[in-house]
Chain A
Amino acid sequence: MPTSILGPYTRTILTAAAIIGLLLFSFTYARVSVWIDVQPFFEWMETTWFGVIGKTWGAAFAVVEAVHLIGLALLGGSVIVGEGRILGLVLTDVPARTIINRADKVFFWALMTLLATGVFMACGVAMKIYYLPVYWYKMLALGTGILFHFCIRKPLLQRELEKINPWVTKAVAISSLMIWFTVAATGRWIGFSG
């Protein structure tokens, strides 16, 4: 294995940098600056085919939203089953490795479904969501969730579970549940806003 320039704690250093970057972005003027800069992109989204179909053909939007919700249900289910097994709350008669691996496959395809349908739906209501603060909270939560899943949770849980401190795996499971429930809640919040 090649030695990293950051030494034996490369992942930890990168994680700390990502956390500091995310917090600085969230709580400084940088967020507002990016928000202003992306306005033309959101205006363009409404002019795309997806945007025109989403705005003018309500049934198409509704069908895509139904698929989006099914994707959310699958993702929520895979998170609850995977993290519930790590916490020792569900399916305790099945090996944790089996549950984690199978839930991870479902999670991946659910996330792909959510992203694909989410882009279509965002095009249909681009300027509405642009002005909704909760949409940006959802994007921050989603970005955090994706980074957490693929950069922290997955590499850690690919190891032999016996070699990992059980408190760390439990903390990972609780954090994962918190993030994905926030993504789901802010998604519903968008529906109640505007």
Chain B
Amino acid sequence: MNEKNQNDAQIKDEQTSAILATSTIIIFFAVYWFFQIQSVRELLELAYG
């Protein structure tokens, strides 16, 4: 029973760390691409009005 609890705790820890890492990566990419697309739109507006 104790071993099962430890195993469950390990899975919970691994899932929490995965949520932390993936949310950081996904948010970073979303912000990065938002500014990249915005910058390209501004350049195109400057070039073609």
Contact = CB atoms under 8 A, between A and B. Distances in A.
B21 A165 contact: no
Given A1-B6, A178-B29, A171 B13 contact: no
A11 B29 CA distance: 23
**Which bracket fits the contact residues of A?**
20 to 34
Interface string B2-37: 000010010111111111111111100100000000
Contact of B18 (A163, A168, A178): A168
Task: Classify the interface of chain B: helix, strand, loop or mixed.
Answer: helix
Contacts of A168: 15, 18-19, 22
A16 B14 CA distance: 12
Task: Classify the interface of chain A: helix, strand, loop or mixed.
Answer: helix
A133 B9 CA distance: 42
A155 B14 contact: yes
Contact of B15 (A144, A156, A174): A156
A10 B17 CA distance: 9
Contacts of A155: 14
Given A1-B6, A156-B14, A164-B15, A16 B20 contact: yes
Interface string A132-155: 000000000000100010001101
Given A8-B9, A10-B13, A175-B26, A19 B18 contact: no
Interface of A: 1, 8-12, 14-16, 19, 144, 148, 152-153, 155-156, 159, 163-165, 168, 171-172, 174-175, 178-179
Given A8-B12, A15-B21, A159-B14, 7 more contacts: A9-B16, A19-B20, A144-B25, A156-B15, A172-B22, A174-B22, A179-B25
